[in-house]
């Protein structure tokens, strides 16, 4: 088999250690192209840039820094920078988990979503940020997961994109667990401060993060020391509501 071709991005920026470790691990079996944001874009979700130009800078052979968002990187990467259609889009390794409700805010997952929307199998990797982080082991596990996904691509439903979360102290032989998306418990905060001119400004987002203890979910698996692998889908229609609304006669008016 010829070497697979993998487009790599992230949301922590092109210089992030997680990206570099991932690239090195994937390069052991694949040809890689990195297109990643030139600056930190975490929690940027699936935004794309439509009202200002995007710039690409070559940082090294096969490594492009993009002035835009993670989704911009994958967009420009797949539609412009690749030399052929890749077998995979891989995002990460994010510095911090993307479990449960985090997925809706995540730029890491959004990069994989963009690859998925462009009909390329896509995988996102995120690791618990609590130091010390076993990044090299995480990258080796990520490479193994990517090889598994590539080997089973034909059998996997096309609508699945894969979200992987790794414990901070992951080892190469840490077992994998299939999981469902769980439920976060954020400690939401708004802190008000004053700028030097006396005007109020705000910081949002609390420091502590919890998750609901629902068996079989992503957060539970990672905190029990496993590699959590969750297949996600993007079609968002709420079928139960559709049924109820139909029953209530909404579309007969
Ligand atoms: Mn990030």
Report yes or no on 243 lying in a domain: yes
Measure the CA–CA gap between 248 and 253, rounded to whole angstroms: 10
CA of 30 to the centre of ligand 1 (A): 24
* DSSP state letters, 158-221: TT-EEEEEE-TT--TTPPEEE-B---EEE---EEEEE-TTS-EEEEE--S-EEE---TTBHHHH
Report yes or no on 116 lying in a domain: yes
- Terminal CA-CA length for the chain: 58
Report yes or no on 230 lying in a domain: yes
- Please tell me the total count of domains within the chain: 1
CA of 106 to the centre of ligand 1 (A): 7
Report yes or no on 29 lying in a domain: yes
Report yes or no on 204 lying in a domain: no
pTM for this model (two decimals): 0.95
User: Can you give the CATH number for the domain in which 135 is found?
Assistant: 3.40.1210.10
Report yes or no on 150 lying in a domain: yes
**Sequential pLDDT tens for the chain (253 residues):** 689 999 999 999 999 999 999 999 999 999 999 999 999 989 889 999 999 999 999 999 999 999 999 999 999 999 999 999 999 999 999 999 999 999 999 999 999 999 999 999 999 999 999 989 999 999 999 999 999 999 999 999 999 999 999 999 999 999 999 999 999 998 899 999 999 999 999 999 887 788 999 999 999 999 999 999 999 999 999 999 999 999 999 988 6
CA of 191 to the centre of ligand 1 (A): 22
Domain that residue 41 falls in: 5-182+212-252
CA of 239 to the centre of ligand 1 (A): 32
Measure the CA–CA gap between 77 and 59, rounded to whole angstroms: 15
What protein residues have CB closer than 5 angstroms to ion ligand 1? 11-12, 42, 94
Pairing of strands 184-186, 190-194: unpaired
């Amino acid at each position: 088999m010829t070497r697979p071709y993998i487009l790599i991005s992230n949301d922590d920026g092109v210089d992030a250690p997680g990206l570099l470790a991932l690239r090195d691990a994937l390069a052991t079996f694949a040809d890689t192209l990195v297109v990643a944001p030139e600056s930190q874009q975490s929690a940027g979700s699936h935004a794309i840039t439509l009202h200002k130009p995007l710039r690409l800078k070559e940082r090294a052979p096969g490594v492009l820094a993009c002035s835009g968002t993670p989704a911009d990187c994958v967009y420009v990467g797949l539609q412009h920078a690749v030399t052929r259609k890749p077998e995979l889009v891989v995002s990460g390794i994010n510095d911090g988990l993307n479990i449960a409700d985090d997925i809706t805010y995540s730029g890491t997952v959004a990069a994989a979503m963009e690859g998925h929307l462009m009909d390329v199998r896509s995988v996102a990797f995120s690791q618990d940020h609590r130091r010390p982080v076993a990044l090299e082991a995480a990258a080796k596990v990520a490479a193994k997961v990517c090889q598994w996904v590539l080997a089973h691509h034909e059998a996997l439903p096309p609508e699945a994109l894969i979200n992987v979360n790794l414990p901070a102290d992951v080892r190469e032989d840490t077992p994998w667990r299939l999981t469902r998306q769980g439920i976060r418990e954020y400690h939401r905060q708004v802190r008000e401060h004053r700028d030097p001119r006396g005007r109020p400004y705000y910081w949002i987002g609390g420091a502590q993060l919890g998750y609901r203890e629902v068996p079989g979910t992503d957060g539970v698996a990672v905190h029990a020391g496993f590699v959590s692998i969750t297949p996600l889908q993007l079609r968002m229609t709420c079928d139960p509501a559709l049924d109820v609304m139909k029953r209530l006669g909404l579309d007969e008016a």
